Structure 1
Amino acid sequence: MGFKTARIFSLPHSKGLWAAVAVAVCCLIGGFFITSHVAGLVEDIIAAQHQQKALAKLSEARTRLEGQVGAAISLGKGLRGYVIQDELTQDEFTKFSSELIDDVPFIRSLGLAPDNVVKYIYPYSGNAAAIGLNYRQMPKQWPSIEKAMESRSSVLSGPVEMIQGGRHLLVRVPVFPPAYPQQPIAERHYWGVATLVLDESRLFAAAGLAEVSDGYRFAIVSSGQSDGSPDLIFGDGDLVHSEAVSLPLVLPGDKKWEILSYPVGGWSIDSKEVWMTRILGMVVTLIISTMAFLLIQEVAKVRTMALHDPLTGLANRRLLEDRMQQLLAMADRNGSGFEIFYLDLDAFKPINDSYGHAVGDKVLIEVGYRLQFQTRQTDTVARVGGDEFIVLTPGAMKEDERKGFLKRMMDQICQEFTLPGATISLSASIGFASYPEEAGTIEDLLRIADARMYNQKANRSVIKQPAVLAGQTG
């Protein structure tokens, strides 16, 4: 019976509570999603700002590096103009080359190869092993020479392991001496190639490049036109397969050159702005969820108060009439009927007079519970007056069914009410009416049931007064 009581009196409140919880949870979930989305946008903006900063540094480094390589190529073109003369001694070449490149720290050596065979080199000391080198017989160096010959323009290649030792970048400048003044380059005869050997570390230092600078890591890679695996030229090789930003380097030759940059600590997006966005979003979400919970719960309470009796938790007259209208509409559609039972407690006023209204209220609550105990979930038990109740049951009853139902309700009401200090006996008068057999409207139905209830009360020869059995305590 305790379970039944809990269902009766807490159901309207529970529905409102669960509805409020559901709305609050939806607000929380939606708020968290929105907060995460906005925080993600802030993260993207901050990451984009960091990348723009990295790109700005890359742009500066690229400009300096391209300028240094361009200066080396210009020196090679100057050498090309000097070798127009037919004969050139090593001493003459040494004298000219020293004037040309001694002030350029990143040019390690300078060589001339008539018909692609190295004949002159500067400085001679330490590089003499390269004299007589035939580029056609050097598989790793010949492609860049051939490219320079075919394109009739300078080519940057490497890094290459040099025969005299070391790994260096090479600038190939093809030499095409004119046969007469202003002869078109396309008509000139190929004489040979000038090679400038660039010291990588000094070149990058001259361009202001370091592997780590101002909190950023740098790298330079090169790859052939169809080669998907880049060669590391400078810097941190891990940047090649990371989320580093990059810019193309405009350098002569058929290779693609790129300069890359990546923050030492990665793209830091866990910033104050992101945390503030998350915290503010969560706070707003919690406030909205709490307000929604309280609002829905309050609406549910107001609705419950409007449709339920505040003392017993049973349906009130308004809810009863609404359900009767629904059953009336259903009956008109499918021919089904319904029954109402009008119940009035006998001699209830003496209970209030003898024991007080608090005890009377407990009796009314227990009556409501007992009526609920005898009804189905589809039935409606309503309190419509001080000690008046109406039971609404869908579906027409046969006479024996109705008598059995009336007896069960009466047996429940007539059971003793055990209270602290006393036991109270109670009885009731019950009238009934059936739709559509006995009435065509709700008003007529209520009038008939009410009349039968009062007739039953009036026809009783003796009205049983509440009896108190002394000495029994609850």
Structure 2
Amino acid sequence: MCGFKGFTRLDLASLKPTGKHSLALISGILFFLVVAATTEVIVYLLDSKNQEHERSDVVERVSTLRARLEGELNSTLHLTRGLIAYVATHPDIQEPNFSHLVSEILSQGRNIRNIGLARNNIITHIFPLAGNESALGLEYEKNSKQWPAVKQAMDAKGTVVAGPVNLVQGGQAFIARTPIYTRQGITGLLSEHKPSYWGMASIVIDIPSLFQSAGISEQTDGLSLALRGKDSKGAQGALIFGDETLFQRSPVVQSIVLPNGSWQIAAIPISGWGSDLTPIWLLRTSGWLLALLIGALIAALVETRATNLELALHDPLTGLPNRRLLEDRMQQLLEHHKRNKTGFGVLTIDLDGFKAVNDRYGHRTGDNLLQIAAFRMQSSIRATDTVCRSGGDEFIILVDDVHSRGDLEKAQHQVINKLTGNALVEHRTIQLQASSGIAFYPEDGETLDSLLKASDRKMYSNKRSGQVFDIESANQRN
């Protein structure tokens, strides 16, 4: 006895090679990926544009700071040109003249701490003298700390800005040293004689005052700044102020041009590059949520469409193909076997006594019995065959690729043997019986209608001559 207790349509549907759920899932994932990828491309482009704009803004601000610092430094150095020119033509400059000239310079130069002259590299003049007396008589060549910078200026034959240096009297300063050359003849006038090295002019520039005048500090205008290039050595020079690691954080770097050298100023936003990610994250989150929504909607639409298509072509109770799908497949078989001059069969099956089951036990029991019958028929045929429910308790099976009527009858017996017998339905044992008829293409017909009519006639003939299902006797056995 074969029992199928609690058999549901879901079990039947799982037997069919349907891919609607997979198709819906794949479609949903595909659209999700497309929208998500589009979102990421937009985010990337927007982020790149924001970074470009942010960097451009920093470049503009650093350029302003660089120009201010260059301007402040150059204006300070420019004030001493008159003194250097005077000494070049008056190598025996006297202290009163020197003090008078320098006092005028200091009245205009807000960043200058003192100015000195070193004839033959020995400091002979310095103003203001107060607090700087110990510097008089200093020989540069014997001072290991200052001689390299002095020698650098001599070799360059021009101004070199050294430092920062720590001052004895406190604070830090840059020292701009300019070599002085004379061409004085016997008459005291300039001659064509070869220029002669007179000595060195040094200007001590107060660093805090210089940076304050230029409006520069370690954090200025929303920027973190660092300056390097000690002794005018540019990128090879030591740090002047700021955080040295800032030069490794993709900063905007610009050169501050000095006479015979340079400094490098680096800047990044105080909060770092790309610190305001709120718009980007809002866009990314919205895009991914939209991708999920669209993916879910597409998956639902594809599955709904597939379900509707399946319902249009399949019996909702048993999950088997319906009459519409049967006719379509049968038409394909007709065309195929007509071309290849081969045969196929049509098997019509009618459940005996099914109306009595419905009347006695109700439609629920009848529906379960139909599902069991569908399962048994489905499991008794080949993958190339098709079983459909044509209506009520009638089923039609298309048996593909049979070579003779004998092969078709063999398939008929196999299906009927598997179909008939006791079935356990809701704790009741009901005997399944069926009548069947066959039609063989092309002997019994060459069209859809002719084959179905031939099969029906044979089935009803067998039903009239066969044993009819007895529900009362089955009930007594229960």
Please indicate, yes or no, whether the TM-score normalized by the shorter chain is above 0.5: yes
2:37 is the alignment partner of 1:30: no
Deviations 1:239-289 (A, max 9, x none): 11112223332332233x332222332124444423432343234333322
What are the residue-to-residue correspondences of 1:52-67 with 2, within 5 Å?
52-67=56-71
Q: Which moved more, 1:341-350 or 1:381-390?
A: 341-350
2-side partners of 1:363 and 1:411: how far apart? 16
When residues 462 and 239 of structure 1 are mapped into structure 2, their CA distance, relative to the original with a 3 A threshold, is closer
Helix, strand or coil: the match of 1:470? helix
**Paired position in structure 2 for 1:446:** 452
1:85 aligns with 2:93: no
Q: Which moved more, 1:10-19 or 1:346-355?
A: 10-19
CA shift, 1:111, in A, is 2.7
Structure 1 counterpart of 2:225, from 218, 223, 238: 218
Report the more deviating stretch, 333-342 or 301-310: 333-342
Q: Distance in 2 between matches of 1:324 and 1:224?
A: 97
State yes or no: 1:72 paired with 2:76: yes
1:215-364 maps to which residues of 2 (within 5 A)? 215-222=222-229, 229=236, 231-255=238-262, 257-328=263-334, 330-331=336-337, 337-364=343-370
| Structure-1 separation of matches of 2:162 and 2:247 | 20
Structure 1 window deviating more from structure 2 (26-35 vs 3-12): it is 3-12
Structure 1 residues 253 and 86, CA gap change in structure 2 (3 angstroms): closer
User: Which residue in 2 is equivalent to 1:207?
Assistant: 214
Question: 1:445 & 1:16 partners in 2: Cα distance?
Answer: 32
Letter aligned with residue 144 of structure 1: Q
Q: Does 1:101 align with 2:131?
A: no
- Give CA deviations for 1:116-153 in whole Å, capped at 9, x if unaligned: 5544333452551663323998763256314541xxx5
Contact kept? 1:135, 1:145, Cα under 8 Å: no
**Structure 2 vs 1, CA of residues 461 and 470 (structure 1 numbering), >3 Å: closer, same or farther?**
closer
Residue 299 of structure 1 and its aligned partner are, at CA, apart by 0.4
Distance 1:39 1:469 in 2: 73
Question: Which residue of structure 2 aligns with residue 410 of structure 1?
Answer: 416
Deviates more, 1:179-188 or 1:304-313: 179-188
**d(CA) in 2 for partners of 1:4, 1:378:** 24
After TM superposition, the score normalised by the length of structure 2 is 0.82
Q: Distance in 2 between matches of 1:183 and 1:445?
A: 130
CA distance in 1, matches of 2:314, 2:24: 19
Q: Deviations over 1:395-433 (max 9, x none)?
A: 325666544432232123321233347533232222223
Aligned to 2:180: 175
Aligned partner of 1:18 among 14, 22, 46: 22
Contact preservation (8 Å) 2:9, 2:318: no
Equivalents in 1 of 2:421, 2:22: separation in Å? 36
Quick one: which amino acid aligns to residue 37 of structure 1? Answer: V
* Matched residue, 2:152: 144
Confirm or deny: 8 A CA contact 1:73 1:173 kept in the other structure: no
Counterpart amino acid of 1:430? S
Instruction: Describe the SS at the equivalent of 2:148.
Output: coil
1:122 aligns with 2:130: no
Structure 1 190/378 Cα, relative in aligned 2: closer, same or farther at 3 Å?
farther
Moved more, 194-203 or 307-316: 194-203
Rounded Cα–Cα distance in structure 2 between residues aligned with 1:120 and 1:136: 17
Q: For 1:53-88, what per-residue CA distance to the aligned partner results, in whole angstroms no more than 9, with x for missing partners?
A: 433432332222112111122122121122121312
**Alignment partner, residue 140 of structure 2:** 133
Q: With structure 1 as the length reference, what TM-score do the two structures score?
A: 0.82
- How far apart in 2 are the matches of 1:321 and 1:10? 23
1:14/1:323 CA distance change after superposition, 3 Å: closer
**1:469 and 2:474 are equivalent in the alignment:** yes
Report the counterpart of residue 376 of structure 2 in structure 1: 370
Indicate the residue corresponding to 2:47 in structure 1: 43
CA-CA distance at 1:326 after TM superposition: 4.0
Higher mean alpha-carbon deviation, 271-280 vs 381-390, is at 271-280
CA contact (8 A) 2:125 2:136 kept: no
Instruction: Report if aligned partners of 1:130, 1:164 keep a CA contact under 8 Å in 2.
Output: no
Could you say if the C-alpha distance between residues 365 and 220 of structure 1 is closer, same or farther in structure 2, counting changes exceeding 3 Å? same
162-171 vs 20-29, which deviates more?
162-171
CA 1:284–1:461 in structure 2 vs 1: closer, same or farther (change >3 Å)? closer
Could you say what secondary structure the match of 2:80 adopts?
helix
After superposition, the Cα gap between the structure-2 partners of 1:464 and 1:262, relative to the gap in structure 1 and judged at 3 Å, is closer
Q: For residues 228 and 334 of structure 2, what CA distance do their matches in structure 1 show?
A: 85
Q: Secondary structure at the match of 1:141?
A: helix
Are the structure 2 counterparts of residues 97 and 334 from structure 1 closer, same or farther at C-alpha, using a change threshold of 3 Å?
farther
Cα gap change, 1:88 to 1:277, in 2 (>3 Å): same
1:424–1:469 contact (8 Å) kept in structure 2:
yes
Equivalent pair of 1:175/1:193 in contact (CA under 8 Å): yes
Judging changes above 3 Å, is the alpha-carbon distance between structure 1 residues 314 and 169 closer, same or farther for their aligned structure 2 residues?
A: same
1:220 aligned partner, one-letter code? L
Instruction: Give distance in 2, aligned partners of 1:135 and 1:448.
Output: 128
Match of 2:205 among 183, 198, 206: 198
Measure, in 2, the Cα distance between the counterparts of 1:227 and 1:96.
Answer: 33
Q: Deviations over 1:103-123 (max 9, x none)?
A: 535323323344555443334
Tell me if structure 1 keeps the 8 A contact 2:365–2:426. Answer: no
Q: Do the aligned partners of 2:419 and 2:432 also contact (CA within 8 Å) in 1?
A: yes
